[in-house]
Structure 1
Amino acid sequence: MSKDWLIFDLDGTISDPKDGIVRSFNYALQAFGMPARPEAEIAAYIGPPLDQTFIQLVGSHDPGLIQMLVAQYRERYAEIGYRENQLYPGIPSVLEQLAASEQYRFGVCTSKRADFAEKILEMFGLREQFEFVSGGDIGVEKWQQLEGLRREGVISQQAVMIGDRAVDITAGQRNGLQTAGVLWGYGSVEELSQVAPTYLFEQPAQLAQLE
């Protein structure tokens, strides 16, 4: 099948967000008198929307509490957390290689709020590579973001969704798209293999195989 759009997840795919995310989650938890959690525990949740992660961390579905925790998280993340991202080595060069083929258009579809995603891409000098940045918010699933992009004619049926977690792959599949799982982020080979992406890559340079 031909491909025309490459749609990238952000966290765990383009950049490593662990430091900023872990510190911002713990900032929010401690603001409400809850204990900080180990880095490894929080890192396991990187990828899905914030509200879903807080529900898992605190064991509560109370919408008021979850909303306040998300707001507290974003308070720190907006000032400090987004700047604690680290770009994965090899991403800029493979983007340049794919762009040089003149075969693809690039976009970003992330569960992160769009303004945060924009700041991160600008910080790395990558924003101009992407024609759009689709960000999520509370109550919005990634498959719904992709569905909206397709419905509005922003992307076509020939798009490929690229991400490091099962949620990225299933979101693409639910919209009838090809998918590429990447193993340099936070999803394990077991997690990604279970959802059977079209492609599975171990290193950023392998994205060039999409040509």
Structure 2
Amino acid sequence: MSIYAVLFDLDGTLTDSKLGITRCIQFALSELGYKPPDADELHWCIGPPIKDSFSLLLKTSDDAVLEQAISLYRSRFATIGLFENSLYPQISETLNTIRFAGYQTFVATSKPHIYATQIIEHFGLSSLFNGVYGSELDGTRSVKADLIYHILATEKLSPSHVVMVGDRSHDMIGAKHNHLTTIGVTYGYGTEEELKTHGADLIAHTPDEIPKLLMAGSN
């Protein structure tokens, strides 16, 4: 296995975004007249497309209602929630190690790229990525498989030389749909069982295990 490029999920993989995401979901639900769940009951919303999460929370597929919820969510997220966020320990060192070893690195998140780019810049990580990819505000490429396909095509990457690193099932599913090798991380919001069930080839329990797995696999 010769790996040349690594795709990183954002929420739950590079950053601990629980505070911002859950508070923005709670805000949107409150504005719509619902009693929001506690933050700890919203872990499952971190990672998947936000429209899917609101569809389940509001028990509806009505686009008008969902777009209103997303609009309320973003009204808070764009100014406050974006920065209610922190880097996981060792992330900067991990990315530096991977870059020093010669790998290309990309962010691959279901979050709109306009926000993802701001977050990466906020944490001073821009120089550690060849590119930051996310969805469009209208939901285009919010499905991980579509996003990964877009990255592979845009960057002219061969699936056999790319690894996806993520913490949730949709990261693994999207990667496997595009025939990528996968590393599931357990320090985020998904369990090892969830990751393995949906196709994780390797498991990292801490960020500093990621480059070790990459380099072991490339030998």
Deviation at residue 153 of structure 1 after TM alignment: 3.9
TM-score by length of 1: 0.96
Conserved? CA contact 1:21–1:77, under 8 Å: yes
Instruction: Pick from 152, 162, 172 the counterpart of residue 159 of structure 1.
Output: 162
Q: Per the alignment, in what secondary structure is the counterpart of residue 111 of structure 2?
A: coil
Deviation at residue 154 of structure 1 after TM alignment: 4.0
Where does residue 207 of structure 1 map in the other structure?
210
Where does residue 32 of structure 2 map in the other structure?
32
Matched, 1:130 2:129: yes
Aligned-pair Cα RMSD in Å: 1.1
Q: Which runs of 4+ in 1 moved over 6 A?
A: none
Where does residue 115 of structure 1 map in the other structure?
114
Matched, 1:168 2:145: no
Equivalent-residue separation in structure 1 for 2:74 and 2:158 (angstroms)? 32
Conserved? CA contact 2:173–2:199, under 8 Å: no
Where does residue 146 of structure 1 map in the other structure?
148
For each residue in 1:39-94, what CA deviation from the matched residue of structure 2 results, as whole angstroms up to 9, or x when unmatched? Answer: 12211221100000001111111100001100110010000001111100011111
Conserved? CA contact 1:109–1:145, under 8 Å: yes
Deviation at residue 155 of structure 1 after TM alignment: 2.8
Q: Per the alignment, in what secondary structure is the counterpart of residue 171 of structure 1?
A: helix
Deviation at residue 114 of structure 1 after TM alignment: 0.5
Conserved? CA contact 2:48–2:170, under 8 Å: yes
Matched, 1:97 2:97: yes
- Which ranges in structure 1 are unaligned for 5 or more consecutive residues? none
TM-score by length of 2: 0.93
Matched, 1:65 2:68: no
* Paired residues, number: 210
For each residue in 1:91-139, what CA deviation from the matched residue of structure 2 results, as whole angstroms up to 9, or x when unmatched? Answer: 111111111112x000000010101111111111001211111112425
Where does residue 78 of structure 2 map in the other structure?
78
Q: Per the alignment, in what secondary structure is the counterpart of residue 79 of structure 1?
A: coil
**Partner letter of residue 147 of structure 2?**
Q
**Partner letter of residue 84 of structure 1?**
E
- Which ranges in structure 2 are unaligned for 5 or more consecutive residues? none
Q: Pairwise mapping of residues 9-48 of structure 1 onto structure 2 (< 5 A)?
A: 9-48=9-48
Does 82-91 or 129-138 show the bigger shift? Answer: 129-138
